[in-house]
Amino acid sequence: MTDQLENNEKICGIIRPIAKMNDFYTFEHWNSVKDIMERAIQKAGYTPLTVSDSKGSTTIHSSIFLNLYQNEIVVCDVSNRNANVMFELGMRIAFDKPVVIIKDDKTPFSFDTSHIKHLEYPSDLRFQVIEKFIDDLANIIMETVEASKVDGYKSFLSHYAPIKVTTLEVNEVSEKIALESILKSINNLEERFNKIPIALNNQYLSKEKPLSTLLFQLPNNTNFQEILKTIDYIRKMKNVSECNFDKDLENKYLKVTLESDITPNNLKIFNDEIKLIISNIKEAP
């Protein structure tokens, strides 16, 4: 069992952005918002805990899963639509657990959650408005918890369809075994995803690390001797590890392997340069 259950603490989980996103949404800005959220949560009678934090868990992923499922209430800040935040919010909603959503006044509503009530705060964190926001958030936390305990409580899932999360009959296993199984599944999905080619300017860039491979289609009537000359030229280019000729039943390709990862901007420049070289290859007589 987690610390919160062993100590009978009333935990309110926090889902929030952490990293710098731009010159306005800095690390310091998010820390200031975190302090504001924690004040409101404590005022509501709960102990604040970011869902990725836990004294008793050895990995960040296991902390997130356990806290999103076990916390009695969660407050989620969707300001600037951080991808990790939206993913964790989706998990909390899928667990059919109560959550309070907040956002700043610069962030528009997201389509999928726009019908769910959002408590708004000023992005410049003005003192007088923030003090009222803290009071309002504390009240909403308490009201949401109480409402979730009443028969006939409508969850967020009910806004999408008359869905009820069923209680499954399962064999009890230790948290460690359950989390290892979940993390193994995530790793398997990540491995499968890394093998999927990503379309880029009608070419393909594999996600294999540390090498990246590009395929360039050639005209079918390309002069073979010119192809060989082009391969020799490309092999001498910076960041190119190898260049080979490849073909299938219908098409001819140049396969270019880069020595290391390349930035999206440099990759586009590289693509354009190779395509220009290919366009100048002489046709077969």
Q: Where are the domains of the chain?
A: 3-189, 197-279
- The fraction of the chain above a pLDDT of 70, given in percent, is 70
> Do 279 and 222 form a contact (C-beta atoms < 8 A)?
no
SS3 252: strand
Cα angle 166-98-149, degrees, rounded to a multiple of 5: 75
Reported CATH class of domain 3-189: alpha beta
Per-residue confidence (pLDDT) for residue 62, from 0 to 100: 66
CA dihedral 206, 275, 258, 251 (to 10 degrees): 50
Expressed in percent and rounded to 5, the helix, strand and coil fractions of the chain are 45, 20, 40
Mean pLDDT (whole number) for 100-126: 85
pLDDT band for position 205 (50/70/90)?
very low
pLDDT band for position 210 (50/70/90)?
very low
pLDDT band for position 193 (50/70/90)?
low
CATH superfamily of the domain spanning 197-279: Ribosomal protein S6/Translation elongation factor EF1B (3.30.70.60)
Per-residue confidence (pLDDT) for residue 202, from 0 to 100: 41
Least confident of 143-147, 155-159, 222-226, 236-240: 155-159
Tell how strand 212-218 and strand 252-258 pair up. Answer: antiparallel
pLDDT one-digit tens code per residue, 139-191: 999 999 998 888 766 666 665 555 555 443 445 556 667 667 777 777 777 66
Per-residue confidence (pLDDT) for residue 81, from 0 to 100: 87
Mean pLDDT (whole number) for 35-57: 86
Tell how strand 11-15 and strand 73-77 pair up. Answer: parallel
Mean pLDDT (whole number) for 15-20: 90
pLDDT band for position 48 (50/70/90)?
very high
Least confident of 98-102, 218-222, 230-234: 218-222
Give dist(CA 173, CA 194) in Å, integer. 31
Residue closest to 244 by CA, chosen among 226, 259, 257: 257
pLDDT band for position 195 (50/70/90)?
low
Mean pLDDT (whole number) for 42-67: 77
> Do 257 and 243 form a contact (C-beta atoms < 8 A)?
yes
Per-residue confidence (pLDDT) for residue 198, from 0 to 100: 45
Give dist(CA 120, CA 137) in Å, integer. 10
Whether the link from the prior residue into 210 is cis, omega within 30° of 0, is yes
Per-residue confidence (pLDDT) for residue 75, from 0 to 100: 96
Per-residue confidence (pLDDT) for residue 33, from 0 to 100: 95
Tell me the pTM.
0.54
pLDDT one-digit tens code per residue, 56-67: 544 556 678 888
Mean pLDDT (whole number) for 38-52: 93
Per-residue confidence (pLDDT) for residue 249, from 0 to 100: 59
pLDDT at 263 over 90: no
> Do 15 and 51 form a contact (C-beta atoms < 8 A)?
yes
Torsions phi, psi for 137 (to 5 deg): -65, -40
Least confident of 16-30, 44-58, 66-80: 44-58
What does pLDDT average to over the chain? 78
